[in-house]
Amino acid sequence: MELPTLLSPLTIRGHTFKNRIFSTGHMTVMLQDGVPTDRMVAYHAARAKGGAALIIIEAARTHPSGDSGRPAIRAYDDACIPGYKRIAEACHPHGCKVFGQLTHPGREMPLTAEGTHAVAYAPSAIPNERFHVMPREMPIAMVRELIVSFGSAARRLQQAGLDGVEVVAAHGYLLSQFLNPRTNQRSDDYGGTPENCLRFVTEILSTVRAAVGEEMIVGLRLSGDEKEHDGIPAPEMLGIATALAATDDLDYLNVAAGSSSGLAGSTHIVPPMAYEAGYTAPYAAAIKAQVPIPVFVAGRINQPQIAETVLASDQADMCGMTRALITDPLMPVKTSEGRLDDIRACVACNQACIGHMLNGYPISCIQHPETGRELEYGTLAPAGDPRKVMVIGGGPAGLKAASIAAKRGHRATLYEAHATLGGQVNLAQMLPGRAEFGGVTTNLSHEAELAEVSIKLNAPVTLQTIEAAAPDAIILATGATPYMPVVEGADEAHMVEPWAVLQGTANVGSRVVIADWRCDWVGIGMAERLALDGCHVRLVVNGQSPGQSIPQYARDVALGTLHKLGVKVTTHARLFGADQDSAYFQHTLSGEALVMEEVDTVVTALGHRSDDALARELADWPGDVHIIGDCLAPRTVEEAVLDGLRIGATL
The catalytic site residues sit at 173
Report d(CA 274, CA 432) in Å as an integer: 9
Report d(CA 100, CA 357) in Å as an integer: 19
Phi, psi at 156, each rounded to 5°: -65, -40
Report d(CA 9, CA 4) in Å as an integer: 10
299: Cα separation from own chain's centroid: 11
Q: Is 103 exposed, middle or buried (0-12, 13-18, 19+ CB in 10 A)?
A: buried
Angle at 477 between CA 475 and CA 483, to 5 degrees: 150
Q: Is 41 left (phi over 0), alpha (psi -120 to 50) or beta?
A: alpha
Alpha helices in 218-353 (DSSP H): 234-245, 263-266, 281-288, 304-312, 322-327, 331-336
Give the three-state DSSP class for 373. coil
244: Cα separation from own chain's centroid: 30
Helix axes 439-450, 396-407, angle to 10 degrees: 20
Report d(CA 622, CA 109) in Å as an integer: 57
Phi, psi at 77, each rounded to 5°: -125, 135
- In sequence order, the β-bridge partners of residue 11 are 16
Nearest to 315 by CA among 293, 291, 289: 289
**Measured between alpha carbons, how far is residue 198 from residues 79, 182, 224, 400, 600 in Å?**
32, 14, 16, 51, 59
Q: Which one-letter DSSP state was computed for residue 570?
A: E
Question: Kind and range of the H or E element at 320?
Answer: strand 318-320
Nearest to 647 by CA among 449, 412, 374: 412
The answer to whether residues 206 and 249 touch, using CB atoms and an 8 Å cutoff, is yes
The answer to whether residues 389 and 471 touch, using CB atoms and an 8 Å cutoff, is yes
Report d(CA 111, CA 227) in Å as an integer: 24
Report d(CA 10, CA 157) in Å as an integer: 22
Nearest to 62 by CA among 100, 25, 89, 88: 100
The answer to whether residues 233 and 226 touch, using CB atoms and an 8 Å cutoff, is yes
Amino acid at 454: S
The answer to whether residues 495 and 454 touch, using CB atoms and an 8 Å cutoff, is no
Nearest to 74 by CA among 135, 133, 149: 149
Report d(CA 370, CA 373) in Å as an integer: 5
